[in-house]
Chains A and B, each alone.
Chain A
Amino acid sequence: MAERKPISTGADWDFELIARYDEAIREIAVGEFGLDCYPNQIEVISSEQMLDAYASVGLPISYPHWSFGKAFIRDEKAYREGARGLAYEIVINSDPCIAYLMEENPIALQALVIAHACYGHNSFFKGNYLFRQWTNADAIIDYMVFARKYIMKCEERHGIAAVEEALDACHSLMDFGVSRYRHPPKLSAEAERVRQREREEYAWSRHDEIWRTLPPPPAPAGPDQATDTGLSGEPQENLLYFIEKYSPRLEPWQREIVRIVRKMAQYFYPQGLTKVMNEGWATFWHYTILNRLYDKGLVTDGLMLEVLASHTNVVSQRGFDERGYGGFNPYALGFSMFRDLRRICEEPTDEDREWFPDIAGSDWQSTLDFAMRNYKDESFINQYLSPRLIREFRLFAVADHEDREFLEVDAIHNEQGYRRVRKLLSEQYNRDNLLPDIQIIGFDRDGDRSLRVQHRRHRGRGLSGDSTRVMRNLQKLWGFTVWLETVEEDGSLVDTTEFPA
């Protein structure tokens, strides 16, 4: 071990010190381990500002909405009462990558956050295929500025209540505002502005009082007219997209709001799919980097202890029967998986050689890098969850079947259960399993303009009680009657509900 020459000894920090830690960490992260990152922009903020940032779902700028106020009030209360500490950091997937450090934290935590956010998350944002495909890191801030201005202008013109109603409706459908197969065009605030202006001008230019004096046109000649339902036979799963393009009733500004919410949903889409990986990756790297700092003698024992204390907090996983158990802690699961992966590369056992023949004993850095780049939670778990980790977590699967009186333990951490547990856990992170399958299958363009929405029931699971409210919101956005058809997996109709205009 090198002679101890710590960068600092006290708990206090100043800007120069942060810069020095950042440099030391960069040397390890980029220099030794070869992480590929966006440039960093580290911003120091106060706890109030952190609460603000929390409330607007981690974006530094957002439009005004009551639900953000609600989140703010809730977080603030929890924080004031000491029920919950603030997360140490918020990091924004943008180029340069913006990370927030909280003023109140001692230097140990600042170092931890720099390693975690500025090199961990940052390299994940830059490397992971979902982020590369789905988000434009360089445009999001610009776009949010545009969205904020636009929505505030709408409030001025059309009143807060009307805008709020539209936003509420869109928010409730946000989960169904994501295109999964088509690449979204690049975001550009300027292009948005131009497009929106054109849309409005077109509406104006088409408006001519004289048309109102004409007698109404004769009824459509017949069914041979081309009907553009926007579906061309295929159902549409992006409800917000469909509403934006084809809703007969929406005003231009409402369409624009639908679009804004849709774009936000799209922006957050990859984050939802990579929670375990993203947090696991960042946690793995702060752990690795800080240990390396310690080995190089650049930090004191005290700082390291502090770091380890909060690290342990972050990666603690409660058992299913413990108080406050709320499912898996993505930090814990992700961290353990990446560490286990490294172990498989460096010290493989016979079991590992059998389960992971192509990575056991390989170079750990390139293996981890490959995993980070090419997987999402679902596939990551399916591919890399090792039997050893299943034993360590003592995972077990419970089956809940409607027609049986008891819950049944489906599989546990034993030889027969590994594959089953791994598959089920991976399924648990499959978005299709979390969200009901709801698609638009058609609308009656020439008749009463009613919209037909289909819910394909998967394994007999119905919709939650809230869904009636959401369907009403959909109806409001559509402006005409909406039919919700529930079908079984084989397509047989179960039930039809009408949401009349």
Chain B
Amino acid sequence: MSVIIDRRLNDRNKSAVNRARFMRRYKAHLQRAVADMVSRRSIRDMEQGGTVHIPHRDISEPVIRHGQGGDRETVHPRNREFNTGDRIRRPPGGAGGQGSGTGEGGGDSEDGFTFTLSREEFMTLFLDDLELPNMVRNVVGNLKESRPQRAGYTPQGAPTNLAVARSLRQALGRRIALTGAARRRLAEIESRGDPDAQAVDDPVLAEEISSLRRRIARVPFLDEIDLRYRHRIMVPRPLSRAVMFCLMDVSASMDERKKDLAKRFYTLLYLFLERKYEHVDVVFIRHTDDAEEVDEEHFFHDPKTGGTVVYSALHLMEEVIADRYPSDQWNIYAAQASDGDAFGADPEKSRNFLVEKLLPKTRYFAYIEVGDEGSSRASSLSSAYRRIESTRFAMRGVQERGDIYPVFRELFGRQTA
């Protein structure tokens, strides 16, 4: 007789480990593809998965077969017009007969191998080996932040927290425990009697039966001591929230292209922070000769022109920190993008302010200089910033889209201790 087994509930993802092995092996390919995707994508769908193409020759598994040349005969079906002795021009490529039948394997050799990354995998590769510099978990300290967490069951509680299944289980256990002996005795007596006889003749036994029955009936189905409630306790949690300041120069010299570069950098930073922290706030500060806090739409798209005073933005950032994001409760990150055209005393003043006031409070401050394509001239702001010596500060120049991701990786690459 055949045995029929339902295995549908077994593990489905048996191949996950093999898939992971595959990814591990072709990580270099995948990472290159990810970098490529990042530079091509619009920011809105940065976070999606993607398709990776791997050339077939790179993933083929070598085997020994007969090569070309030599003599061979192959049999094919569905002859139409050939007769013995007919001569056929050798097909180009010299594969020797149509397909030559020796099993050259996988017909898709020309197409290469296409591999779809899930969103999660994309992000993992994307952020692989990146690390937040100076990530200090802010101490719990006197912070009130705590969260409810499940902690089993309790006999007391509010009716809304009643765990029905658990309570019934408890009741069942109690009933079994309290009536077990009586039921056993009852079964014993009844099995002795003739099953056909309606009543038990022996009055003593009849009396015992009815007393046992009464005893069993007296045990309640559900008792108050059975009730169980879901228990929750408050657990203090280490702080895991961050605020990201986006500072951008929107003066006349920052055109759409430069803004787009800056925006891409902010997007990467945001995605990155979001993975590392549970909660990420973003503050947009744009400045010309005067700084203001705006929403995202205005930040990127509202045209506004004017001069350039970098200091104003830094100053506003400090105010916002003091006002809303005390540095002992928030992990503060900042990314400043500018083309670096600052004038007069502004660069020096900004530098000093940054070093003295802002850097001590921030985890990391990145300055991205979006230059014109092909230019490598050092701007006034960058020459001032260059003299900042702090592990919390970094600056890089970016000229085109393709630069963004490498620069980002460079800034946040895992430091080998």
Contacts and interface: CB of A to CB of B under 8 A. Distances in A.
A470 to B, nearest CB: 5
Given A77-B114, A406-B88, A461-B70, A428 B77 contact: no
A393 B76 CA distance: 9
A321 B85 contact: no
A48 B15 CA distance: 9
The DSSP consensus for interface residues of chain A is: mixed
B7 A176 contact: no
A412 interface: yes
B197 interface: no
Contacts of B70: 402, 457-462
A407 B19 contact: no
Interface in A390-411: 393-402, 405-411
Contacts of B107: 326
Contact of A66 (B8, B22, B97): B22
A406 B78 contact: no
Interface string B1-25: 1111111101011110111111111
B59 A70 contact: yes
Contacts of A40: 2-3
B99 interface: yes
B160 interface: no
Nearest to A469: B62
A192 interface: no
A397 B7 contact: no
B297 interface: no
A67 interface: yes
A43 interface: yes
A319 B66 contact: no
Contacts of B64: 172, 175-176, 435-436, 438, 463-464, 466-467, 470
Contact of A402 (B69, B80, B87): B69
B65 interface: yes
Contacts of A230: none
Contacts of B83: 409, 412
Interface in B70-86: 70-80, 82-86
A6 interface: no
A69 B85 CA distance: 47
Contacts of A411: 84
Contact of A44 (B5, B24, B66): B5
Contact of B21 (A45, A65, A103, A409): A65
Contacts of B2: 19, 22, 26, 39-42, 118
B62 A400 contact: no
B116 A43 contact: no
Given A69-B23, A319-B78, 6 more contacts: A64-B18, A73-B116, A397-B75, A398-B88, A406-B88, A417-B84
- Among all A-B residue pairs, the 7 with the closest Cβ atoms: A319-B78, A461-B70, A69-B22, A69-B18, A460-B70, A320-B76, A40-B2
Interface of B: 1-8, 10, 12-15, 17-25, 59-80, 82-90, 96-103, 107, 113-116
